[in-house]
Amino acid sequence: MIKKLFQNLIFFQILIFNIVFIESLEAIIPFYNLPKEDILKKNSFSIAKNAYQLLYFGQIKESLNLSKLAISLNKNDPRLWSLLAETQIANKLYENALNSIKKGKNIDPKMSELYFSESSIFIKQNKIKDAQKSLKKGLNLQPDNINGLFQLGNLYLMEKNFIKSLDIFNEAINIKPDFWQAFNNKGLIFFELNNIPSAIKNFKNAIEIENNAEPLLALAVCIQNENFKESILLAKKALSKDPNYVDNKYRKEQLWGQKIQNETNKLFSSKELKQDIAIAKLLKK
């Protein structure tokens, strides 16, 4: 009986201790309610907006981190996968970006932005045919996407498929009449086709819209034999606006063909441009 009473007493003391211990824990550890799904989604969009702003201002690592956080809160929105892919592309994480695009497509296979992002990766990987396929799929979903059309025209230009390229650039201009880049690249095509009057016309159209270094220099090259003085003035202006155009490799990256490259080198051999070229070489990135 005493033994049983002692056992009961020990049990009672253990019970009291546990109750007190649990109450003490509750006093120390606060109780949290898990956020509801709609709140998580709302937060993910807010974070995504900040990530996009950081990407726009060139803070690519910070943008990537926020994009990852946004997708961790809401993995079922293809827009967030698209944003994550863009930040991964900016950080040169191309395979990761392709994986994000794949996940976005699984959710919404009709989201055109995913195909445009995919094409940009394939271009960087020099997979031209794959890039064309992705662009065409994106344009089937969003036919009036100017950047998509321009990129497709550029891919045809890279392949020297000038007729298809011109058709695409004209389509882009019909949608956006002040699209100076399309006029500029049409000029590059006409120069390679030895149609200098049409090249001049398109470079002038581009300059009327945007007084950019590229069409200024291209026009200078076009008129150097007919109006050398004006050609030199245009070349000086172009190099002061963007010294990178002094570099043959840089111009090639802008899809300048061999014929206009040769004529540019001829213009740059002029003594009137010697000082401007020397300065441009110092200033180019």
User: Measuring CA to CA, which residue among 128, 163, 166, 134 is closest to residue 150?
Assistant: 166
b/e string for 154-177 if b means 16 or more Cβ within 10 A?
bbbbeeeebeebbebbebbbeeee
What does R_g of the chain's alpha carbons equal in angstroms?
31
Work out how many domains the chain is built from and give that number: 1
For residue 41, is it within any domain?
no
- Among the ranges given (49-58, 205-214, 218-227, 240-249), the one the predictor scored with the smallest mean pLDDT: 49-58
142-190 pLDDT, tens digit each: 999 999 999 999 999 999 999 999 999 999 999 999 999 999 999 999 9
Q: pTM of the entire structure?
A: 0.81
For residue 233, is it within any domain?
yes
- Among the ranges given (7-21, 59-73, 109-123, 240-254), the one the predictor scored with the smallest mean pLDDT: 7-21
For residue 272, is it within any domain?
yes
CATH code, 226: 1.25.40.10
For residue 185, is it within any domain?
yes
Range of the domain at 276: 178-285
For residue 130, is it within any domain?
no
For residue 242, is it within any domain?
yes
Other beta carbons within 10 angstroms of residue 268's beta carbon come to: 19
Q: Which two tokens stand for residue 21?
A: 């211990």
For residue 232, is it within any domain?
yes
For residue 61, is it within any domain?
no
